[in-house]
Chains A and B, each alone.
Chain A
Amino acid sequence: MNSFSYTRASNVASAVRAVTADRDAVFIAGGTNLIDLMKENVARPPHLVDITRLPLNRIEELPNGGLRLGALVTNADTAYNAAVERRYPILSRAILAGASPQLRNMATNGGNLLQRTRCYYFYDTATPCNKRDPGAGCSAINGFNRIHAILGTSDQCIAVHPSDMCVALAALEAVVHVTGTNGDRTIPLAEFHRLPGDTPHIDTNLRTDEIITSIDLPPKGFADHYAYLKLRDRTSYAFALVSVAAALEMHGDTITETRLALGGVAHKPWRNLDAEGMLNGIRATKDHFEAVGETIIRSAHGFGHNTFKIELARRAVVRALQQAARVGRKS
């Protein structure tokens, strides 16, 4: 690891000032991704601002019936929080599908949103990577790309966002609260992460002088009909090849609202509102789910090693919707 200087912030305003005064300064919280990247020489921040002692470590009820997840609450404390387990079980399931118990005890909610891709070439400083070194070229497009994206790619980058938590947050339509030099603002989760386009080095729409303070969950938690399906090379402690968060509102056998988000397939949690809309007012049958799966993969494009993901994603959508339709059904 390269040497760096270190400060500890005691309030949010001073943390913002610290990264505003020094544009090369970087926040550190759980450290599970950043320290790894620093050891790999991918991240070389000259200055770290420790934000772990900021008062952003609570889960609170919101007046509208939603739930506020503090940015510094650990992934483990979020997944095992009684209100999250009861009202937002899809989020609990998604978090527990990711990483290991030790990492979930360290990693924070804000950090989960900001984790970087696990693309092999991004991690390997001996190979060109547009995300690490803009303009250098992408080694994955014609390289070993088994884990890479099939949707929303560009000719500059085919990396995927590795989070499970964010896939569930996308389905729940969570809202990210941030604070910066220009004050507070909110970013819907769907707009938080970016597609690579011609600026793949920029992962999110968070500005460099901003800090995440909370992730707010809307009142609707889809606790009766949900599924988080994660497909991967081994059944624990591996990143998703494809994952699907499926959440349904149902009246009897009829679907009244659908939320679908896919992980492991794009540079951000992938939603397709047209596909979701196909199920409104429709009976929950496999045929209808197949049509949704077909619609989602219609614009998918494989790069060789990852082409299997197209059919895998289609089938995963169908299976997740079937599971969601069954969960909570009183038979």
Chain B
Amino acid sequence: MDTASGTKIAAGVSAALSGTSAITLIINGRPVNLDVAPWTTLLDALREYVGLTGTKKGCDHGQCGACTVLVDGRRINSCLTLAIMKDGATLTTIEGLAENGALHPLQQAFIDHDAFQCGYCTPGQICSAVGMLSEGRARTPDDIRELMSGNICRCGAYVNIVAAIQQVMKAAEGSVTP
């Protein structure tokens, strides 16, 4: 349902949208058409409209990282993102990391190292770690701790989270995993 009110249409500015408008997101490799209001966050669109509830709502203010997803390959807080602003973007959520039934190496590493207790922060932790590894800035455990600081774990599984990420980094370097 496109309800462009079109109160002030000037050259170079789209019509003012106040109702819902149609957007397309490429989510985990599949194009998804959605009708969203301007104030619908990407997090709410994923959970409530697309039914992908793996991405979690923690603080809803960009402080905890539970809502972390990859947009065009980069990790962001989906709670502070308006879905309408990401029309046409490519998203990867926790549901899109496994390939052909095989867990993503980070998913497997989190299991291997028991890198969670309640698991609520885990989808955000893993998506954030995927983003961090592709940024290529982490070298040491201290780097991992600093560059994963946007993801809070209230169970305190940090030690095992760092170990899980290190396992994947070492495997990528071709050395023996612990």
Do A and B interact with each other, yes or no?
yes
- Chain A residues with CB under 8 Å of chain B are 1-11, 13-15, 17-18, 21-22, 28, 31-32, 35-36, 38-40, 47-50, 52, 76, 80, 99-103, 105-106, 236-237
- Establish whether residues A101 and B13, one from each chain, have CB atoms under 8 Å apart when the complex forms: no
Q: Which residue from B8, B39, B131, B146 sits with its C-beta under 8 Å from A22? A: B8
Is the beta-carbon distance between A21 and B10 smaller than 8 angstroms? yes
Residues of A within 8 A of B157 (CB): none
User: Is the Cβ of B150 less than 8 Å from the Cβ of A106?
Assistant: no
Q: A31-B81, A50-B85 are in contact. List 15 more A-B contacts (CB 8 A).
A: A2-B39, A5-B5, A5-B38, A6-B82, A6-B84, A14-B13, A18-B10, A28-B85, A32-B77, A35-B41, A49-B13, A52-B85, A100-B65, A105-B75, A236-B145
Instruction: Identify whether the interface residues of A are mostly helix, strand, loop, or mixed.
Output: mixed
Mark interface residues in B51-80 (1 if CB within 8 Å of A CB, else 0).
000000000111001001000001111001
Q: Please report B residues at the A interface, Cβ cutoff 8 Å.
A: 5, 7-8, 10-18, 37-39, 41, 60-62, 65, 68, 74-77, 80-82, 84-85, 128, 131-132, 135, 137, 145-151
B39 touches A1 (CB 8 A): yes
A99 to B62 alpha-carbon distance, docked (Å): 10
Q: Are A8 and B145 in contact (CB under 8 A)?
A: no
Contacts of A18 in B (CB 8 A): 8, 10, 13
What residue in chain B is nearest A80 (Cβ atoms)? Answer: B137
**Chain B contacts for A102, CB-based, 8 A:** 62, 65, 68, 75-77, 128, 131, 150
Closest-CB distance, A11 to chain B (whole angstroms): 5
- Report chain B residues within 8 Å CB of A8: 13-14, 85
Give the distance in Å from the alpha carbon of A62 to the alpha carbon of B73 in the complex.
Answer: 30
**Chain B residues near A76 (CB-CB < 8 A):** 74
Which residue of chain B has its CB nearest to the CB of A31? B80
17 residue pairs bridging A and B, Cβ less than 8 Å apart: A3-B39, A6-B38, A8-B14, A9-B13, A10-B14, A18-B8, A31-B80, A35-B80, A35-B81, A36-B80, A80-B135, A100-B65, A100-B149, A101-B150, A103-B80, A106-B81, A236-B149
Whether the pair B38, A48 counts as a contact (CB closer than 8 A) is yes
Q: Which residues of B contact A39 (CB under 8 A)?
A: 60-61
CB neighbours (8 Å) of B80 from chain A are 31-32, 35-36, 103, 106
